[in-house]
Structure formats: structure tokens, C-alpha cells
Amino acid sequence: MVSIFHGCVPVFTLGQRGSDDALPFDEVLHWPSFSLRVPADELQELPAVLEAVARRPAELKRMQSGLRCAWRRLFWSSLQGSCFGESARGDAFDGLIEVLRRRLSRARGARRRLL
């Protein structure tokens, strides 16, 4: 979280290319717009990936701008208290509740289709 507060773009090295590894709050955060993913089996490419982004400052700025919108969903203001004077509304707790609501809705829809 501290790195995100400073505008650092997160880099994830989950699974292999094509795997369906989920990131936190996938249902409410569009991770590709403000983070990078390098599959674990391609980790040797990480320096090249980072250099490529560094050569595209407009893309890097776009991703950092996306972080400014996403950090609220990742910080537990309602439990840990405000960090920057923000309200608890729209924090990670609200994000978790929204994820659970969407998953429950999908599960109910799938069950109805089976019946």
C-alpha cells in the first residue's frame, strides 16, 4: 500500500501465462489499467517489461492516474482509520462487500439456470 500511495505501479508475478489467477477485488478493480502482470514462467522478462513501460511515459502516467482511483478500494479506512482524511465509504470493506454481492448474484443466477 505504501508504494501505491507513492504512485508506484504494482507488478504481479502470479502463475503462468494463461492461468486464471485472480487479484484482490477483481470484480470491482480493473487491474490491467494500473498494474503490470508478468507470468512467473516469464519472470526473466521483467527488466524488459519495466524498461518498455519506462520508455512510454504517457502510459506510465495513465497507470499512475488509475492508481489514484483504485487505492481507496485497497485501503481499509473503516478499520484502520483515515490516512489522508478520506471517508470510510468506498474503502476495501465496501469493495469486499461489493465482490461478495456480485458473487452471490452470479451463484443465484447459475442456480436458477440449472433449475
Cβ-Cβ contacts under 8 Å for 3 (sequence gap 6 or more): 10
- Going by pLDDT thresholds of 50, 70 and 90, the confidence category of residue 9 is very high
pTM, 2 dp: 0.75
The per-residue pLDDT for 22 is: 81
Dmax (CA) of the chain: 54
Q: Would you say how long the chain is, in residues?
A: 115
Mean pLDDT over residues 44-49, rounded? 95
Cβ-Cβ contacts under 8 Å for 91 (sequence gap 6 or more): 72, 73, 75, 76, 77, 78
Using CA atoms, how far residue 9 sits from 43, 101, 114, in Å, is 17, 28, 42
Query: How do residues 15-42 score in pLDDT, each as one tens digit?
Result: 777 666 788 898 999 999 999 999 988 9
